[in-house]
Structure 1
Amino acid sequence: MSNPPYINAAFRSSRDYEVYFFAKNKYVRLSYTPGGTDDKILTNLTLISSGFPSLGTKYVRIDYDSKQLVGSIRNIADGFPVLNGTIFESGIDACFASHKESEAYLFKGDKYVRIHFTPDETDDTLIGDVRPILDGWPVLRGIFPVS
Structure 2
Amino acid sequence: MCDASLFVGAALPWLRDATEAEARVVFDRLDRLVVSPEGPRELPGQSYQTTEVKSQKSGVHLLSAAGPLELPENINRIRFFDLDADNPQAPGPVHDELRRRREADQEGNADNNRDDVDENNGNLSRYTPVSDPDASLILPSSHIRRACMLLPSKDEAIFFADTRFVTLRLDTAHNLEDTIAPGGVQSIVDAWPALHEANFLAIDAVIPNPKNSDEAYFFFRDKYILVNITTRQKVFNAKNIVEEWPSLRQVGFNTVDAAVLLSDGTAYFFRGSQYVRVDVRPGTNGDTVVGTGPKPIQGNWPVLDQASFKTVDSILTSPHGGDTYFFSGSNYLKMIIHPASTQDKLTGAVKPVKEGWSSLVNAKFY
TM class by shorter-chain length? 0.7 to 0.9
Does residue 40 of structure 1 match 2:179? yes
* Kept after mapping to 2: 8 A contact 1:18/1:29: yes
Alpha-carbon RMSD across the aligned residues, in angstroms, is 3.1
Give deviations 1:64-95, integer Å, cap 9, x for gaps: 8948666254332354212213231x101111
1:24 maps to: 162
Report the alpha carbon displacement of residue 130 of structure 1 after superposing the two structures with TM. Answer: 0.9
* Kept after mapping to 1: 8 A contact 2:145/2:203: no
Aligned AA (1:141):
V
Q: Could you tell which deviates more after superposition, 69-78 or 126-135?
A: 69-78
In structure 2, relative to structure 1, the CA distance for the partners of 1:38 and 1:97 (3 Å cut) is closer
Aligned AA (1:46):
Q
2:345 maps to: 125
Aligned AA (2:314):
A
Aligned AA (1:26):
R
Q: Which has the higher helix share?
A: 2
* Kept after mapping to 1: 8 A contact 2:147/2:159: yes
- CA radius of gyration, larger in: 2
* Kept after mapping to 2: 8 A contact 1:38/1:139: no
1:105 maps to: 325
In structure 2, relative to structure 1, the CA distance for the partners of 1:62 and 1:136 (3 Å cut) is farther
CA distance in 2, matches of 1:143, 1:104: 22
CA distance in 2, matches of 1:144, 1:19: 17
1:141 maps to: 361
Aligned AA (1:58):
Q
CA distance in 2, matches of 1:122, 1:4: 33
2:268 maps to: none
1:42-61 equivalent positions in 2, closer than 5 A = 42=181, 43-48=183-188, 49-52=201-204, 53-54=256-257, 55-61=271-277
Report the alpha carbon displacement of residue 117 of structure 1 after superposing the two structures with TM. Answer: 1.3
In structure 2, relative to structure 1, the CA distance for the partners of 1:41 and 1:25 (3 Å cut) is same
Aligned AA (1:125):
K
2:297 maps to: 76
CA distance in 2, matches of 1:64, 1:79: 22
Aligned AA (1:47):
S
Q: Which runs of 5+ in 2 are unaligned?
A: 1-85, 87-119, 124-143, 189-200, 205-255, 258-270
CA distance in 2, matches of 1:20, 1:76: 26
In structure 2, relative to structure 1, the CA distance for the partners of 1:104 and 1:7 (3 Å cut) is farther
Aligned residue-pair number: 145
CA distance in 2, matches of 1:64, 1:17: 25
- Other structure's SS at 1:129 match: coil
Q: Which has the higher contact order (CA 8 A, sep 6+)?
A: 1
* Kept after mapping to 1: 8 A contact 2:280/2:288: no
* Kept after mapping to 2: 8 A contact 1:25/1:50: yes
CA distance in 2, matches of 1:91, 1:46: 27
In structure 2, relative to structure 1, the CA distance for the partners of 1:124 and 1:131 (3 Å cut) is same
Question: What is the TM-score with the length of structure 2 in the denominator?
Answer: 0.34
Q: Which runs of 5+ in 1 are unaligned?
A: none
* Kept after mapping to 2: 8 A contact 1:105/1:114: yes
